[in-house]
Amino acid sequence: MAEKTAKEMKEIILNKFAEVFGDTEGVKAYFAPGRVNMIGEHTDYNGGHVFPCALTIGTYGAARKREDRKLRFYSMNFSHLGIIESSLDDLKPAKEAGWTNYPKGVMWAFGERGYEIPCGMDLMLNGNIPNGSGLSSSASVEVLTGFILRDFFGFDVSNQDLALIGQFSENNFNGVNCGIMDQFAIAMGKEGHAIFLDTADLSYEYAPIKLENAKIVISCSNKKRGLGDSKYNERRSECETALAEIQTVVGINGLGDLTEEQFEQYKSAIKDEVRVKRAKHAVYENRRTVKAVEALKNNDVELFGKLMNASHISLQYDYEVTGIELDTLVEEAWKVDGVIGSRMTGAGFGGCTVSIVKTDAIDSFIEKVGKAYKEKIGYAADFYVVEIGDGPVVL
């Protein structure tokens, strides 16, 4: 499916804003991308490396200040909910607030940092990230909200601060114990590059993704999942316990500090077989990510693809976060000529896979994987050929 241009999306959202909120007097339009993680999954809360990039699909926003403290939210993706009203004096999470808990959480987090928001706003969103796909629609909304607040009120915060504020709000307002990767990739995105981020100290470098005659294809399983109620927090606590056990025999700050050899040397300190597997994934996946970035620097896309494949196997057997939908998408992808590498991406339990596919094989990839998936799972997957884009912008 052809993506609409940013200009078309801006026009659509401004027209809808006028329809819903009366007019477009004083309205500004914004965009924040979604992200895909190329490799380095479930390493970001284990003090390891990740390798995400921002996409040219994401969340469009239109906003204007109000004279009072009222907040009026409208999402074109959840138009059946109509306008959801709230107030700056009532920034607390509520189940019935639905998606508006994300922008409200960011407003709350700015307040926690001492940035007083002086007035309310009308905010309309329209995302072209598939909902529940694991391409970080929530983090995209968080970074977008922070970007709008900075633009409206002149707050002295960097894009990196916007990422940290977004993560803080998701952890403490929305109760999802996520790492920093999603918000960081979105706030700091750079066209044509992925971000090699060390989550232990937030040092990072941009690494160009040069795919000769190949493209990134996202396959969306269409199995919906919610992070908060998935096993995400459970995996996180398994790793924290394993880390504490290993720390009784060696001085490390995170599982990401270990090489494979060191892990094998010290793993007997972990008192439970399941936790051994979880920690093994965290350590080995981190080393794979470091090797994958080296491979790209050496223009070795084939090796990068092999490391992607190994990442999926580890997520399937050691971390156990894939499930039949994602495994089917990946295993069918591996059968197609012209697929350089394929793996699940995101938290797992549904969501998406990311594949690097030779340009002339994309049509047959979508056809073959799509057919096999529908036969096995009973409903269709969606496919998106994506480009790597920049961070948040005013349109």
Q: Which residues form the catalytic set?
A: 182
What are the beta bridge partners of residue 344?
353
Tokens encoding 71: 């907040």
- Rounded to whole angstroms, the Cα distance separating 240 from 238 reads 5
What are the beta bridge partners of residue 343?
354
Query: Would you say 65 and 381 are in contact if contact means Cβ atoms under 8 Å apart?
Result: no
* Sign of the CA dihedral running 320, 272, 199, 102: positive
Tokens encoding 322: 């894939």
- Rounded to whole angstroms, the Cα distance separating 200 from 185 reads 15
Name which of 50, 12, 45, 52 is nearest 31 in CA terms: 12
